[in-house]
Amino acid sequence: MPASERVAAPAVTSAAASQRALDWFVFFVADIQTGFGPFIAVYLTAAAWTQVDIGLVLTVGGLVALGGQMPGGALLDAVRSARWAAGLAIVGIGISALALALWPAFAIVLFSRVLHATASCVLGPAIAAMSLGLVGHAGLGERIGRNARFASIGAGVSAAAMGAAGYFLSNQSVFLVTAALAVPALLVLARIRAGDIDERDRRPRVRQVAAPSQASYWSVLRNRPLLVFAGLILTFHLANAAMLPVMGGVMANRASEWAMVSIAACMIMPQLVVAGCSPWVGRQAACWGRRPFLMMAFAALAIRGLAFAVVTDPYVVIAAQLLDGVSAAILGVMFPLVVADATRGSGRFNLGLGIVGSALGIGAALSTLLAGYVVDHFGRSVAFVTLAGVATIGLAIVVMLMPETRPDAEEMIGEETGETVAPDLIERRVPSPVSVAH
């Protein structure tokens, strides 16, 4: 065996082991985050909290999560290790869950929500940064697809497990389980070798031409593909976030005894689609580009809104929810992938994630406000048609304004060989888009 092969084989094995460890880390992160969903409201209600106090702590947490997106991304661009940042975020979330379980006093719960929101603003970009560092730009689509699959499986499994713990043990046990899950998450994180993560793909570095050493914050804020994509994400969640809650209210009014079961099915079925389709979306994005998938996501959302406007049969509603899985699978992959395209070479990948994440939060918050107003004044059918119309506007923006951000094959080859004078090249050996697709 040639010496080069003897040296390369352990490196390939090590990188594969790090990728498997990242799979399980994403799985456990989804487990942990699931504990902070609807379970908080149930737990605090059982603890005799008023709805005003519950709404206050949840709102404060939401505002911190929204305001922390860009600072969290900028912070991660500045730190030396995304792996260490992810570890500290997991510790913070574990402390937050433990505080909720043991001391449900107002000040402690408020602190817990702020700590959880702050840590989450770092954890999401850290996972994306580790993914980019492990596989490089050309392999990012498939890697993000794997992340989405394991996150979907983790969320489904943990929702069932925590629901069972809350039913058979106590509401408090949900948060004790959440805190305990931080331990296996940290153990698998430690199995991701720091040497397998190329931090240069996400952090500013010195250029080899006469230019500033890194892209300025203002240049990122003027990045047209990034800003158009942020607008698309805002539009998507403006149309999407309120659809299932409004339909849940409709189903509760028509068949209250089956409403919870139907809504649970509406939440689980899209997760199955995400788990099955996300890796394929990541692979095909390297061949087809990003725009065709974005068009599919908005088209599926618009059709779903129109279907909700005319049907209330639970079986048809659940079938229509499969379209939510299509959109979620696509957007779950496209979110970090398009941001990586738009900020490639700037060293501001995580700041870009923060900008688009802020747009997501704004769109989701405005969606419930818009839908609630339309339902109260014009009825639920008009509300769903309105949300479908917003999705159609998003589709038009993709067609008319969103550029294709997938790097050309020649450009990627140039990055592999170094045969280009473009600044901030990713100086690493990565597979071409064609090889990734197959």
Q: What is the pLDDT of residues 24-83, one digit of tens each?
A: 999 998 878 876 766 777 778 778 787 678 777 877 888 888 888 888 887 887 787 888
- Give CA–CA dist 388/300, Å, rounded: 10
**pLDDT of amino acid 160:** 75
pLDDT tens string 384-399 = 999 999 999 999 999 9
Q: Would you say residue 433 has pLDDT above 90?
A: no
Q: Which tokens in the block code for residue 176?
A: 């004790």
**pLDDT of amino acid 387:** 95
The CATH T-level fold of domain 9-196 is: Growth Hormone; Chain: A; (1.20.1250)
Q: Would you say residue 210 has pLDDT above 50?
A: no
Would you place residue 239 in the very low, low, confident or very high pLDDT band (cuts 50, 70, 90)? Answer: very high
Domain 221-419 matching CATH 1.20.1250.20: the answer reads yes
**pLDDT of amino acid 50:** 79
Q: Read off φ and ψ for residue 139, nearest 5 degrees.
A: -95, 5
- Give CA–CA dist 324/13, Å, rounded: 37
pLDDT tens string 349-384 = 888 888 898 899 898 888 888 888 888 889 889 999
Higher pLDDT, 272 or 300: 300
Average pLDDT for the chain: 79
**pLDDT of amino acid 254:** 65
Q: Find the mean pLDDT for residues 157-168.
A: 75
Would you place residue 312 in the very low, low, confident or very high pLDDT band (cuts 50, 70, 90)? Answer: confident
Higher pLDDT, 101 or 267: 101
Domain with CATH 1.20.1250.20 in the chain: 9-196, 221-419
Would you place residue 436 in the very low, low, confident or very high pLDDT band (cuts 50, 70, 90)? Answer: very low
Would you place residue 194 in the very low, low, confident or very high pLDDT band (cuts 50, 70, 90)? Answer: confident
**pLDDT of amino acid 264:** 65
Would you place residue 178 in the very low, low, confident or very high pLDDT band (cuts 50, 70, 90)? Answer: confident
**pLDDT of amino acid 96:** 92
Q: Find the mean pLDDT for residues 10-14.
A: 58
**pLDDT of amino acid 43:** 78
Q: Find the mean pLDDT for residues 149-175.
A: 79
- Give CA–CA dist 236/222, Å, rounded: 21
* Type of residue at 415: E
**pLDDT of amino acid 195:** 81
- Give CA–CA dist 134/139, Å, rounded: 9
